[in-house]
Amino acid sequence: MSTRVLTGITTSGTPHLGNYVGAVRPAIAASRAADTESFYFLADLHSLIKAQDPARTQRSTLEIAATWLAAGLEPDKVWFYRQSDIPEISELTWFLTCVAGKGILNRAHAYKAAVDKNVADGEDPDAGVTAGLFMYPVLMAADILLFNAHQVPVGRDQIQHIEMARDFGQRFNHVYGREYFTLPEALIDDHVATLPGLDGRKMSKSYGNTIPLFAPPAELKKLIFSILTDSRAPGEAKDTEGSPLFQLYQAFASAEETADFAQAYAEGIGWGDAKQRLFERVEREVAPLRERYETLIAKPARIEEILRDGAQRLRAKYATPFLGELRDAIGLRDLSSVSTVQAQAAPKASLPVFKQYREADGKFYFKLSDAQGQVLVQSRGFDAPRDAGLRVAAMKEASSADALPAADVELRVPADEVLAALAALREAAAQA
């Protein structure tokens, strides 16, 4: 079975060198790994939370789609689509909204940051906060869960969103009595470069310090030559540590080229010469991409065709059938399938249930309860949701007292009662 990896790209702004090095280039390389099914989508619905300029949203969608294609994304080998072209995402968002806990959403980083700023400014806590900002973790969960992604590449500041997607998926599974959703894992790559911008801070549109990825050569050179440096003169040794020029060069160069550049720093290369070398190295990699980008951007109808084709195929294979299954699960069913005279159905036996949850201490727990709500097993706290999930999986397979993870759980009833409950769960799963 292949691993499904899903990546979303928000359609806000023009792609810059930091986007390319930190997201585009590594993601495209990863998409070529064996046994990987890759999903790449343009998160245009997410962009509406901040960007409410229709022309800019359209232009950004075109630019970002063209960037990924120019950089080597192969739409016939991966799933490449626009979020708004998959209406099942929006419908699933509502399904998840109906099981998502408001308390969890209250703790979302973006919402908390907005509230904290309002309080600090003496404003009403929710001043200027839209329902879109508050609810966007649910939309993000729908993006992931609709395709049962196994892994989602994110930075460490985004781990919370994956944990929330897991929570919403687990709650839905629990409420509707079956594991409809795969619970995703955050894929963290600490080796992905974060590039400095023109002023030495992280390259970011919010700082206005970016270098557009496909700036014409003359503009690219001008921007690189405007990068801040210190006052050390030619002939004076220079430090590579903390040097924006060196970090940018390293992100594009081979190990041998980087070593040569470090040696030039030690020998006192002048800043003008260092910037020229950086410009030449970046231009060497970007020039062929720029040529493909300019060809693509001149044919927006072709990009539209690629995105719509990707969405159409993806809906047919995954989104529409799975959403139909979920609609049936929650009772949104064809009424003609209901007989006007129904025999009294035999009552369905209630089963024990596992519940995973997070407590105020930040740790993750699980418990096994019987059909009447009595707790049979209570776990200790785990630092990560994955660890709790692994213990649940181990317990589900336990067929003897020795197989129960005694160090991680407290049995609230005799072991034979716990084993009987686990056996009932296994039997129900086998008959499903």
User: What mean pLDDT is predicted for residues 195-207?
Assistant: 87
Residue ranges of the binding site for ATP: 10-12, 18-19, 155-157, 195, 202-206
Residue 59 has pLDDT above 70, yes or no: yes
Residue ranges of the binding site: 10-12, 18-19, 143, 155-157, 195, 202-206
Q: What is the pLDDT of residue 12?
A: 80
Residue 341 has pLDDT above 60, yes or no: no
- Contact predicate 18/204, CB 8 Å: yes
Rounded Cα–Cα distance for residues 153 and 189 (Å): 8
Task: Give the rounded percent of residues in the chain with a pLDDT score beyond 90.
Answer: 64
Give pTM, 2 decimals.
0.75
Q: What is the pLDDT of residues 268-307, one digit of tens each?
A: 999 999 999 999 999 999 999 999 999 999 999 999 999 9
Residue ranges of the binding site for L-tryptophan: 143
Q: Which tokens is 188 given? A: 């963290």
Task: Give the rounded percent of residues in the chain with a pLDDT score beyond 70.
Answer: 96
Mean pLDDT for the chain? 90
Residue 343 has pLDDT above 50, yes or no: no
Which of 141, 130, 165, 107 lies closest to 50, judged by CA? 130
153/431: higher pLDDT: 153
